[in-house]
Chains A and B, each alone.
Chain A
């Protein structure tokens, strides 16, 4: 059985692949450009950001407590949710208490993770995504395939068709026209809803300020006309102080979209001020665990530094070839290959144990990560975890015989010489399917096993010993 990601990549249309690859390559290049233009040593910044985040999660209990106290003091209500179900019930409870029938949502990976929209819809609460990409995903009943660019896999023609189908105007493929139509349609939704639901990019423990970034202005609009604001935020999103946000904001926008800052960067720690006519009267923060506290105790805890910029997805050659949906979970690409097997706890590990194998371990993700997460190391640790737990993943090779050979020098030397027979075998008829596939696209060099060792021995006047 081929690995599921390989299979998905095989079945993917060349058009989609090209779209994902182009976008990834473009953003990767622009990211390097802006970082090098603005900073003498961007890598030092990445390391600094990683250290601050690591410190924070290493002291998460006290920072979480501090954030809770700061937010409460500023007039926000703080809730905690152990898992997806608890978070959904918590949000529902808040909405019911305020008798909210309609909500607008600003793009949030945490609410994707807990599958909030279908749940609220089932409860009879109209839930509208407002980020353009997420809105298109919602009307298409699709799922996002990239953290920052949710519809990276869609062509404008598909969007035009969806808009036509959903009564949002005649078929028109012009991105500007599509955007204007969404603008008109969605502002009606903002103005008619009772609550705005957002995620949160950072939380300053010191001040309790929640930082929300959007380019479209939809988080701002989800709050301005509404009575209630609910922010669903992973417990790992905390940073110690307001001043530390300079490190993260500067890196986040440059890493995600090669901007200096995202257009709308909002710092919120409570309801609107009394003098302000527009804005929520209530602010609720739902701190979501959903497996994070478990990850904190495991060997891949550094993954909790992630600030969801998508740079690892953009640079990853496997992601570029297979697209985000190949990873079968909310988070795709390198970050998803680590997070998905961990987030669901023990139960979901076998389901996603193949994801860490979908990497050539090239390390490009680590090089671009704004918080310096050693992603390739984690992929290796998760492979090891899979091996130890005896989880079989498609395309695994037994390595014990190789280890026996590689620790028996005499047998090794014999094998090196004996394998010269390979030169005379019809390799295209190789008995193992993966090997045959491999050789279908490649030729192998001529086997010269033992030649160097012989050369050393016969070499006159050399000072190399053997």
Chain B
């Protein structure tokens, strides 16, 4: 398929889907994803069934009773997108009880990065991250990019059980486990928002493009916020 502006590849994804891959470095490509997502969700054409944004791609699913892939291709190629992003995205300030006993991987992070506990927390709290993708499981937001110093690989053997609300890092990404699940990321602490949360409808809402900063709280503050919910 012929390419159009901002797009490095466009492919079929079934009879009712097209996947668009954007060009540019990760930040720019992800911005394009958001721009196209915003343009499509604002226009809300009747034939759209769902739009799934990811790091550098956008899966557009359509009602193939109404339109075909040629139509969708043309629509995307002609879509007017705002290239200057006006900041409608939210900024989340996330409290973290760093080094909670069940989420203390600081030793192994040190082994990879050479950083002390305080330095790690400092790097994790002073950077503003961006949500690059939400998926895999409800409410699981891939945030990035971590500063170079903090990059460390996934665990060689994933844990069978990561506690609910665990704040974790792996490669250039950071995330919060919305529910207890298996996982291979390095754990830094616990976010009280997720404490005893059972209904996925109550999950904090992260959208692609949102900004995120973490701040440190004490165990007492954790318990206060957790019981306040």
State whether these chains interact. no
Name B residues whose Cβ lies closer than 8 Å to a Cβ of A.
none
